[in-house]
A and B are shown apart, each in its own frame.
Chain A
């Protein structure tokens, strides 16, 4: 499918979902109090930063096999928050990356986070490191960093593949508090097995909203939840209704190939 087929429901659905997210943002920006449920993994982030400070050791933040995509942007946004918390206690955050575009982006976000907390001099540009574009060369580089720097807390947020367990298991052996979150569904079990806390599925995109409570972000998370309820209802109704619906509507609901 090269272009949208407006004879089916799918392109319409994208705009309806976008509108729902927009509604959430609009409501929240107008001052409406919207609720997000508690997420223990995110509550533990502050504790993980605090522990690293107590132990006088740095924090590791791995934004995954960073590509220039939405999950990585979210990971970098989360890195900014961790850096802001760490900067308050004048602690270091080490961010190894696999992509040079993300390197520049992460460096800028961290620099601003430290400057904002009034700890600009604590930030070392070499703490944001490009290790390698190769998956396993990157993994071995991160393992080396973890061992040499004896990191006290590790955060794994972003897109991960087979290296997820290698990194998390080494961190576990070093006794670091580990918090992970990934949109790569196949890697979630590995993180659950080896990390202290894991953010699962859509919670990944709620992290920044939960941490900042900024109305726009909270509104968009609320909008996403409405989208999910609507999608689930739609799937259920379409599945049950297929038997009785006229063929033209069934065709409208069928994914084009």
Chain B
């Protein structure tokens, strides 16, 4: 590629370009999740019978996963703190811990899906499960992408490169965490 782009280095709005872009990504993700959750809530009100299907979700597994993501987010925050001090290897180690949290989350989620499918609680048998699977599936894809980026940035941070990106992935990771908060409450808690 040709030389460094001047435009990328500018920050006329007073915020580094990468950070601004991460916020924009989040701003465009919110309506996507909103597009699933808002219709779900609308229809949930009109279908009291969905309560029974919601009851089949395991709140304890959901709570465990919530705790997992909160811990993972905490490590992302600590990684940022380390990166601020210029400690690349420490930041990398903490990012990896955050990524492992995401991976365990996915494993738990896969187990949960498996039990649902084993009980024939699949999207084809009830629209509630349609919403449940698409919302958690979409969220799962975000976790997966987040884990991949976390590991990639950890590899860079290990060598002390691009430490600024540690904060960026942290922002994204917190966002995914917050989305899970909403999913957890809307699907697991509200009966």
Do A and B make up one complex?
no
